[in-house]
Amino acid sequence: MITGGYYGYMIIGGLLSLVGMFVSSRLKSKFRKYSQMPNTSNMTGAEVADAMLRHYGISDVQIKQGRGVLTDHYNPASKTVSLSPEVFQGRSIAAAAVAAHECGHAVQHATAYSMLQLRSRLVPLVQISATAQQWLLLIAFMTLSSMPQIMLITIVAFGVTTLFSFITLPVEFDASKRALAWLDSSQVAVGQAHEGAKDALWWAAMTYVSAALSALVMLLYLVLRFSAANND
């Protein structure tokens, strides 16, 4: 029964990995598609971000151009919206959607959105757990029969990162909801442009869903191994 459970979790994990690759591929495809379509207002991503922040009366958040592709993020610690060059300079639906989404996080921060606050408080612990995981995992499997306590510590570390992944989901969905509402009300993206922004942000959110489910499967697999070792 235990062995069957191993294979079951391995199969599910493999399937989720495939789903993750598919979602990532679709996101890149959608971003390319909507990067070729102008937004309704013809504003750059940087201009969209500035307009959205001003609309919500947020004056202490800096907008800067980052590097790479799809590296856009909001940093609550430095109150910075970092936009990749294609988003910062772009006048497309994709640029507007991504810029507004990241500003959605800034609005969450300014309004003390509870899930963002919880996520931010977990960041230091998650950083420690994520760094320790790779070493703990190796040691845990090597010492599973003689020192099952190491596996228990590993489970706790993976539990922290899994919890973080699931807390991230409402934060991301809420930021997209705020972004889409503002894009529509401000006339930055309406009609077909708004539908395109919604489509792009939906696929972006699915990458977080896929990551959370994969983390959960790994956690359950480790719990199963720990349980099996204690029952031997």
Residue type (1 letter), 210: S
- 47, 86, 102, 172: the catalytic one is 102
47 tagged catalytic: no
Which two three-digit tokens encode residue 34? 């909507």
Catalytic residues: 102
